[in-house]
């Protein structure tokens, strides 16, 4: 029975996220302090008190979600939960690499803040857009993008489930694709409230500059495999970490394939570690071969542990830890 940790990306942020673990765990509190020191401002205060408009800026959102996710993983580690494999959606891949020991936490915090700045700077505000297309298979969406391009950029950005796919590119081209998706039987097609066309070729300028940032940090071999967004391959060596993070910025997030890869690797239980429940919801649409539980605060942790024990999804190491901590099945 194998356990995977999966880490959320942007879109899961909310004022107050992570507060429960911060209040309950010295390890979590220490990570927020380390993040604040690395960034030069009080990240904990921004996460817990806002203002929301500041938290929603991608240069703040990215280190905030990373910190909340790594802090949650530290609490899980204290409870004896150790993953055999990890993955993260977009930004979440950095959280996975930190928890796997490939990136130092403070380095990752600084890099993802810069990543946010570079991604926003790559395309002037209002020039790019993203949209979610529901109820259409990948091949259909790819054809819609080709038909809608008309000399502009529009393409697949996130393959979140077999029938939930996000596209990104020039705003007018994305709008044309949304209209075509509706004409061609899509259940729902909506523009997303984001400030840049993430994971599209329009992000290539950001990728080049991110490479310079990543060249400044030291990288280690991950202690557990990390499934890559770009190709659903396994990162197991230090030399693989940076090249794939650079490619990731302007490449689609192949999340469906990442989940399927983890199932093939023997994963039967997924824990979504950090704010929100997006990945747990997607898991149900991707596979019936594994269970998923979202853990974002002490209450959801206790609920997940109880359900895992009752449903037989409790890894042996965690079951032992729960006996020591007095958690009932």
pLDDT tens column, 299-313? 999 999 999 999 876
Does residue 199 carry a catalytic annotation? yes
| Predicted local confidence at residue 327, as pLDDT | 27
| Predicted local confidence at residue 195, as pLDDT | 80
Calculate what percentage of the chain has a pLDDT beyond 70. 95
- Tokens found for residue 36: 């604040």
Does residue 30 carry a catalytic annotation? no
300: burial class by Cβ within 10 Å (0-12, 13-18, 19+)?
A: middle
User: Cβ(111)–Cβ(93) under 8 Å?
Assistant: no
Confidence band of 193 (pLDDT split at 50, 70, 90): confident
Q: 12, 89, 199, 200: which is the annotated catalytic residue?
A: 199
- Tokens found for residue 236: 């197991």
Q: What is the mean pLDDT of residues 256-278?
A: 97
- Domains defined for the chain, CATH in brackets: 2-122+202-325 (3.40.366.10), 128-194 (3.30.70.250)
3-state DSSP of 74-124: HHHHHCCCCCCEEEECCCHHHHHHHHCCCECHHHHHHHHHHHHHHHHHHCC
Calculate what percentage of the chain has a pLDDT beyond 90. 91
pLDDT in tens, 75-118: 999 999 999 999 999 999 999 999 999 999 999 999 999 999 99
Residue 317 has pLDDT above 80, yes or no: no
Q: 12, 69, 90, 95: which is the annotated catalytic residue?
A: 90
**DSSP secondary-structure letter at 156?**
E
Residue 290 has pLDDT above 70, yes or no: yes
Rounded to a whole number of angstroms, the CA Rg of the chain reads 19
Q: What is the pTM of this model?
A: 0.94
| Predicted local confidence at residue 146, as pLDDT | 98
Alpha-carbon dihedral sign for residues 42, 35, 199, 266 = negative
């Amino acid at each position: 029975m194998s356990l995977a940790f999966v880490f959320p990306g942007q879109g899961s942020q909310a004022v107050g996220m992570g507060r429960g673990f911060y209040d309950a765990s010295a390890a979590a509190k220490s990570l927020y302090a380390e993040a604040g020191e690395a960034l030069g401002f009080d990240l904990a205060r921004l996460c817990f008190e806002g203002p929301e408009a500041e938290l929603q800026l991608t240069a703040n959102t990215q280190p905030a979600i990373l910190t909340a996710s790594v802090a949650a993983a530290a609490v899980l580690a204290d409870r004896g939960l150790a993953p055999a494999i990890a993955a993260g959606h977009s930004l979440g891949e950095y959280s996975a690499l930190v928890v796997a020991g490939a990136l130092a936490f403070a380095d990752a915090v600084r890099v993802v803040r810069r990543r946010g700045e570079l991604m926003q700077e790559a395309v002037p505000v209002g020039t790019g857009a993203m949209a979610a297309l529901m109820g259409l298979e990948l091949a259909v969406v790819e054809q819609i993008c080709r038909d809608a391009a008309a000399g502009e950029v529009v393409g697949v950005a996130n393959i979140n489930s077999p029938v939930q796919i996000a596209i990104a590119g020039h705003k007018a081209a994305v709008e044309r694709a949304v209209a075509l998706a509706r004409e061609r039987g899509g259940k729902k097609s909506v523009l997303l409230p984001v400030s840049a066309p993430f994971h599209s070729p329009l992000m290539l300028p950001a990728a080049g500059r991110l490479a310079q940032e990543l060249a400044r940090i030291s990288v280690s071999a991950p202690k557990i495999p990390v499934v890559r967004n770009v190709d659903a391959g396994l990162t197991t060596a230090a030399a693989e970490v940076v090249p794939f993070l650079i490619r990731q910025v302007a490449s689609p997030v192949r999340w469906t394939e990442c989940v399927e890869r983890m199932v093939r690797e023997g994963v039967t239980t997924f824990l979504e570690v950090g704010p929100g429940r997006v990945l747990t919801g997607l898991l149900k649409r991707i596979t019936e071969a594994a269970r998923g539980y979202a853990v974002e605060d002490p209450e959801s942790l206790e609920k997940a542990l109880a359900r895992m024990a009752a449903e037989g999804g409790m890894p042996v190491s965690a079951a032992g830890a729960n006996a020591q901590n007095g958690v009932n099945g």
